[in-house]
A and B are shown apart, each in its own frame.
Chain A
Amino acid sequence: MKTLFDKIWEKHIVDTLPDGTTQLYIDRLYCHEVTSPQAFAGLKERGLKPFRPERVTCIPDHNIPTLNQDRPIEDPVSKKQVDTLEQHAKDFGLTYYGLLHPRNGIIHVAGPENGLTQPGMTLVCGDSHTSTHGALGAIAFGIGTSEVEMTLATQCLMQRKPKTMRITIDGNRKPGVTAKDMALYIIRKMTTGGATGYFVEYAGEAIRHTTMEDRLTICNLSIEMGARGGMIAPDRVTVDYLKGREFTPRGEAWERAVACWETLHSDHDAVFDKEVVFHAGDIEPMITYGTNPGMGLGIREQIPTLESIDETGRTSFRKALDYMGFQPGDTMAGKKIDYVFLGSCTNGRIEDFRAFASLVEGRKKAPHVTAWLVPGSWMVEKQIRAEGIDRILTEAGFRLRQPGCSACLAMNDDKVPPGKYAVSTSNRNFEGRQGPGSRTILAGPLVAAAAAVTGVITDPRDLLNE
């Protein structure tokens, strides 16, 4: 009567304190340049070395430019952070995939596609979107820099076991509805803090019918409702996705691994601390109107009225709408937008580019729209070219950039100017997230594509049906 989460957690317990705190073994640590320098410095100050260097992979992704990666990074502070990561990796003998390396990309895209993330693992990174990796049936969660240092020093973390929640999505999703729409729908229903304290397992018919890229998108957004992580039981989709990837086992070891992964599912009588059920048929293409990912709507719906908001939340609601320049009761469809961003650890994978291209093919980018199309990794970029998607995009007036986190958090030059509206396939619409004063409207790749060619918020189904 164990949950999938329980099975993996229990297998990684090194020790349990009398108060229930678990000393948890961590199979893999990913490091990027922003949240690791102080951890490496701390390690050096203590005179320590990484305890298990072979379990650490370092990839710069947050700060890097998305043009001219062959040239030195222009911003000296960004350059220093990237150089610092490379130096620490060198000093400690850690795997490092730097700029232009064929395995470089956003960690949450590159990790799974290189087979570094595998079912049954425990996996951490100094990044909240580490929840992404749960799509392969792993326990993966974001940590702070102190915890990065702990993992480097001992390959362990002191953790309280989170509560478990199962979110079941029955039925099948409608045409024109993407995995991102499913996730934004769930977050809207759960609210931005509604899953705090829980580790979520996604289940149900609509989840079983997803691709691995869909699953990575759904698990990626678990943190946006406060969940510690999200996960999906490995199945045929998982095994097919991993087969032949660089760091997966080979030959007999592969057969053994697959046999083990097949045991990784919640038992029939497993008891979760909380169960939630949604129906895929209720989900429409989604869009956000506010300044947290829980402030979402079906694309044809109206922004709530002030009266419909809980009294304690009205100040924050009003502040959000003031920031966005919207009024309660407004319809989102038809609003003019300025920027479109396709990319990030949420929607920077091959399927997102396929979806975007399917809609813009034979159409033209709206002249006033600035579009940033940023593949999640060099492997995605290569696949885009192999499938001829780049040609479709170029003909429609778009240009492909180089991989990185880019405009998701605007640590590089890809910043949305103050007051401008960006339809973004990323994960956060917080104030200033895409640049000071920027106004972010979160959406999936189809809604982003529809906005890019029409210049206004548009239901993609109107174009798909033309």
Chain B
Amino acid sequence: MKEKFTLLTSACVPLPLENVDTDQIIPARFLKATTKEGFGDNLFRDWRYDKEDTPNPDFVLNQDTYKGRILVAGKNFGSGSSREHAAWAIAGYGFRAVVSSFFADIFKNNSMNNGLLPVVVSPGFLAELFASLEKKPATTLTIDLPNQTITNNETHRTESFEINPYKKNCLVNGLDDIDYLLANKSKIEAYEKAQL
């Protein structure tokens, strides 16, 4: 059983960059672990720390201004490598949702398989959210997964978002695909008999 995702109201951490790839989320040299724990410490490692491992004061995770369980990023977030370590790092750091106008496919799947909700919003909603966060860093968002809505509580703008019903059911109930697939094993065997 994974942690269920239903309703989340939280402050946000803005990262207004486009095409943030999974090599930035977690650089390859930190992929050598054989468990899923501890990746949060190296989230955005090379933006967060300098060469001497000193925290970079300009990077948002090192500032007290922004704290929260929702990461807000520019379009095409999570492109590049299929490393699920990226989702483990974001979730391990303490985020429960990522909001962007566009996500890379594999990252999106990996997130949902780890109880981390990717929420796709319109470019207009995203631009307004970045503006709200700049004006008032404590701006909160409310994400209602059962009703598939997201609200900027500063401007009261609400938008509905898409998620496939199967994955939504998994997230809301804390289930994973293996539970489902194992229950469906006879169908797999029947397929093999017919096709192979």
Give A303 Cβ to nearest chain B Cβ, in Å: 17
A226 within 8 A of B: yes
| A192-B177 in contact given A21-B166, A410-B29, A432-B27 (Cβ < 8 Å) | no
In chain B between 65 and 104, which residues have their CB closer than 8 angstroms to a CB of chain A?
74-76, 79-85, 87, 102-104
Asked whether B51 lies within 8 Å of A418 as measured between CB atoms, the reply is: yes
Give A197 Cβ to nearest chain B Cβ, in Å: 6
A346 within 8 A of B: no
| A144-B102 in contact given A315-B16, A428-B80, A431-B46 (Cβ < 8 Å) | no
Asked whether A410 lies within 8 Å of B28 as measured between CB atoms, the reply is: yes
A397 within 8 A of B: no
Asked whether B34 lies within 8 Å of A41 as measured between CB atoms, the reply is: yes
Q: Which of B32, B166, B187 contacts A14 (CB 8 A)?
A: B187
Asked whether B166 lies within 8 Å of A19 as measured between CB atoms, the reply is: yes
Asked whether A292 lies within 8 Å of B166 as measured between CB atoms, the reply is: no
Give A408 Cβ to nearest chain B Cβ, in Å: 9
CB-defined contacts of B176 to chain A, threshold 8 Å: 146
Q: Which of A14, A126, A160, A411 contacts B191 (CB 8 A)?
A: A14
Asked whether B34 lies within 8 Å of A80 as measured between CB atoms, the reply is: yes
A153 within 8 A of B: yes
CB-defined contacts of B181 to chain A, threshold 8 Å: 23, 150, 153-154, 156, 158
B19 within 8 A of A: yes
Asked whether B165 lies within 8 Å of A430 as measured between CB atoms, the reply is: no
Q: Which of B79, B123, B185 contacts A292 (CB 8 A)?
A: B79
CB-defined contacts of A158 to chain B, threshold 8 Å: 166, 177, 180-181
Give A405 Cβ to nearest chain B Cβ, in Å: 9
CB-defined contacts of B54 to chain A, threshold 8 Å: none
B31 within 8 A of A: yes
Q: Interface digits, B160-171 against A, CB 8 Å rule (1 contact, 0 not)?
A: 000011110000
| A411-B18 in contact given A15-B184, A428-B80 (Cβ < 8 Å) | no
| Distance in angstroms between the alpha carbons of A142 and B123 in the assembled complex | 28
Asked whether A15 lies within 8 Å of B76 as measured between CB atoms, the reply is: no
Asked whether B177 lies within 8 Å of A316 as measured between CB atoms, the reply is: no
| Distance in angstroms between the alpha carbons of A316 and B19 in the assembled complex | 8
A77 within 8 A of B: yes
In chain A between 149 and 177, which residues have their CB closer than 8 angstroms to a CB of chain B?
149-150, 153-158, 160, 162
A444 within 8 A of B: no
B56 within 8 A of A: no
Asked whether B46 lies within 8 Å of A128 as measured between CB atoms, the reply is: no
Asked whether B76 lies within 8 Å of A193 as measured between CB atoms, the reply is: yes
| A25-B195 in contact given A38-B35, A84-B34, A146-B177 (Cβ < 8 Å) | yes
Asked whether B104 lies within 8 Å of A433 as measured between CB atoms, the reply is: no
A443 within 8 A of B: no
Count A-side interface residues using an 8 Å CB cutoff. Answer: 71
A228 within 8 A of B: yes
Give B134 Cβ to nearest chain A Cβ, in Å: 13
Q: Interface digits, B16-46 against A, CB 8 Å rule (1 contact, 0 not)?
A: 1111010110011101111110000000001
B1 within 8 A of A: no
CB-defined contacts of A382 to chain B, threshold 8 Å: none
Q: Which of B80, B114, B164, B178 contacts A430 (CB 8 A)?
A: B80
CB-defined contacts of B192 to chain A, threshold 8 Å: 25
Of A63, A145, A228, the most chain B CB neighbours within 10 A belong to A145
A347 within 8 A of B: no
CB-defined contacts of A409 to chain B, threshold 8 Å: 23, 28, 81
| Distance in angstroms between the alpha carbons of A177 and B50 in the assembled complex | 39
Asked whether A316 lies within 8 Å of B18 as measured between CB atoms, the reply is: yes
Asked whether B19 lies within 8 Å of A34 as measured between CB atoms, the reply is: no
| Distance in angstroms between the alpha carbons of A143 and B107 in the assembled complex | 9
CB-defined contacts of B191 to chain A, threshold 8 Å: 14, 25
Asked whether B113 lies within 8 Å of A433 as measured between CB atoms, the reply is: no
Give B100 Cβ to nearest chain A Cβ, in Å: 11
Of A193, A313, A409, the most chain B CB neighbours within 10 A belong to A193
Q: Which of A14, A37, A51, A144 contacts B109 (CB 8 A)?
A: A144
B residues touching A (Cβ–Cβ < 8 Å)?
Answer: 16-19, 21, 23-24, 27-29, 31-36, 46, 51, 74-76, 79-85, 87, 102-106, 109-110, 113-114, 123, 127, 164-167, 176-178, 180-182, 184-185, 187-188, 191-192, 195
Q: 15 new A-B pairs (CB below 8 Å) besides A63-B32, A411-B31, A437-B51? A: A11-B195, A14-B191, A25-B192, A35-B31, A48-B182, A84-B34, A142-B82, A146-B176, A150-B181, A157-B177, A193-B102, A312-B75, A411-B32, A428-B81, A432-B46
A-B interface, 8 closest residue pairs, ranked by CB to CB distance from nearest: A144-B84, A193-B76, A144-B110, A146-B113, A37-B34, A19-B165, A142-B82, A154-B181
Q: List 8 A-B contacts (CB under 8 A).
A: A25-B188, A144-B109, A144-B110, A147-B109, A154-B184, A418-B51, A430-B23, A431-B46
